Structure 1
Amino acid sequence: MKKSNKIAAAAVAAGALLLTGGLTAAANAGTSQAAAPAAVPAVDIPQAPETVVAQNRITAGASADAVRAALAKCQADKLPFVTVALVDRFGTVQALLRGDNAAEHTIEAAQQKAYTAAAFGAPTSELAKRVNGNGPSIADLPGTLFLPGGIPLKVNGVSVAGIGVGGAPDGNLDEACATAGAEAIAAAAAGSGK
């Protein structure tokens, strides 16, 4: 294309943009703005056992240390292809660490094992033994995975989180790594005098 044709094409494009912008501005000028909804005042609810539930959570630092410890155990066991997840009792991920050679499916497996352990307050290896028969079972609950590799984390006997590992060729290997992660949190708490 010649230089004069390029300049002409650019001028046409710029004119089209100006025309479109002008038409949009004219159209908007004819519309009335709706009144903003009145703000709803905030209600300050006092903290009381009748109205507010206290919740324990694993800190971000402890969660990060736990997934690192679990992955380190797997790497020491020559299992670099796993993912470790730590979730709260609702299944929300607090920390996740994917090994260098971990496939994508290991992410979901680790999260689901962690959530299953947290939700049921038991290691997934124990829960897997409860799943039997041909009909519907707890194994059909969305977001759960009843395979070994998930460990619940408890505070005063109440499940508050779970750590799960996915990707090893045997779920018991996953569970050994998850246990190492859980033990790292317990050791850190014991070392701080709590």
Structure 2
Amino acid sequence: MQNTLIKAAAITLSLIACAGAHADGVRIEKNISLELATQIAAQAVATCAANGYAVSATVVDRAGVVRAVQRADNGGPHTIDSSRLKAYTSLSARETTLAMWERSQKNPAAANLVHIPGYLLLGGGVPVKVGNEVIGAVGVGGAPGGQLDEQCAVAGIAKVQEQLR
């Protein structure tokens, strides 16, 4: 009888240990919603339009998947691809593409970043963060300079800053 109780206790402890190990494999992550992505893209395009720039804005989620795209009236067709690539690059590196571009100009080793498939080292990509956690990124393309694209991207994020908690 005592032997049976010991075996039952060992089996119970094994099951509890397995259940705990399984729970460690489940991750809970914040991600960008469609509504939030749409608001960011719309504000980025509106900010650039107010300054006379016909741009596109693309917002990607934490996996680099496109959540929202907006192209201004008269925005060039190339602006859609450039905005997506800037968003992807910013998300991947978890920093602005303008900072990456500047670093690549000063550091020969960083200059090789341009050879990563899908990377575009032009200003205009900005990560979207909740605290220090990157949950997505916005890319803007079409203004006459990466710093101007970045200003519009930052304006898009600023529009929803209160929701990024």
Given that residues 89 and 115 in structure 1 are in contact (C-alpha distance below 8 angstroms), is that contact kept between their aligned partners in structure 2? no
Per the TM alignment, residue 144 of structure 1 is displaced from its structure 2 partner at its CA by: 1.2
Question: 140, 145, 161: which is aligned to 1:165?
Answer: 140
> Is the radius of gyration larger for structure 1 or structure 2?
1
SS at match of 1:96: strand
- 4+ runs of 1 displaced by more than 6 Å? none
Task: Give the Cα separation in 2 of the matches to 1:47 and 1:84.
Answer: 40
TM-score under structure 1 normalisation?
Answer: 0.68
Q: Aligned residue for 1:84?
A: 57
Equivalent residue number for residue 35 of structure 2? 61
Report the alpha carbon displacement of residue 53 of structure 1 after superposing the two structures with TM. Answer: 2.2
Deviation at 1:47, TM superposition (A): 6.8
- Note the C-alpha offset of 1:121: 1.1
Q: Mind listing any 5+ residue stretches in structure 2 that lack a counterpart?
A: 1-20
Partner amino acid, structure 1, of 2:25: T
- 1:16 corresponds in structure 2 to none
Once the two structures are superposed, residues 66-93 of structure 1 have per-residue CA deviations (whole angstroms, 9 ceiling, x without a partner) of 11111110111011x2100000132210
Query: Which residue in 1 is equivalent to 2:101?
Result: 128
For 1:38-78, what per-residue CA distance to the aligned partner results, in whole angstroms no more than 9, with x for missing partners? xxxxxxxx972x21222211111111111111111011101
Contact 1:117 1:123 (C-alpha < 8 Å) held by counterparts: yes
Do the aligned partners of 2:103 and 2:110 also contact (CA within 8 Å) in 1? no
Contact 2:104–2:110 (CA<8 Å) still a contact in 1? no
2:148 aligns to what SS in structure 1?
helix
- Structure-2-length-normalised TM-score: 0.79
What is the aligned partner in structure 2 of residue 182 from structure 1? 157
Q: Taking structure 1 as reference, are residues 47 and 78 closer, same or farther at Cα in structure 2, changes over 3 Å only?
A: farther
Distance between the aligned counterparts of 2:28 and 2:117, measured in 1? 26
Give the one of 48, 53, 66 matched to 1:93.
66
Q: 1:141 aligns with which of 107, 116, 130?
A: 116
Identity of aligned residues (%): 34
Q: Whole-Å Cα distance in 1 between the matches of residues 55 and 126 of structure 2?
A: 16
- Higher helix fraction: Structure 1 or Structure 2? 2
Q: Could you tell me which runs of 5 or more consecutive residues in structure 1 were left unpaired when the two chains were aligned.
A: 1-45
Alpha carbon RMSD of aligned pairs, Å? 2.0
How many pairs does the alignment contain? 143
Distance 1:156 1:47 in 2: 28
Q: Secondary structure at the match of 1:131?
A: helix
* In the alignment, structure 1 residue 74 sits paired with structure 2 residue 48: yes
CA contact (8 A) 2:123 2:146 kept: yes
Kept after mapping to 1: 8 A contact 2:86/2:124:
yes
When structure 1 is superposed on structure 2, of 131-140 and 119-128 the one drifting more is 131-140
Q: Is the 8 A contact 1:119 1:159 kept in 2?
A: no
Please give the alpha-carbon distance, in whole angstroms, between the structure 2 residues aligned to 1:92 and 1:115: 8
CA shift in 2, pair 1:47/1:108, >3 Å: farther
Kindly state the Cα deviation for residue 156 of structure 1 after the two structures are TM-superposed: 2.7
**Deviation (angstroms), 1:147:** 0.8
User: What letter matches 2:155 in structure 1?
Assistant: A
SS of the aligned residue for 2:160 comes to helix
Match of 2:138, as an amino acid? I
Q: Which has the higher contact order (CA 8 A, sep 6+)?
A: 2
- Does the CA contact (< 8 Å) of 2:40 and 2:160 recur in 1? yes
Give the deviation of 1:140 after TM superposition. Answer: 1.1
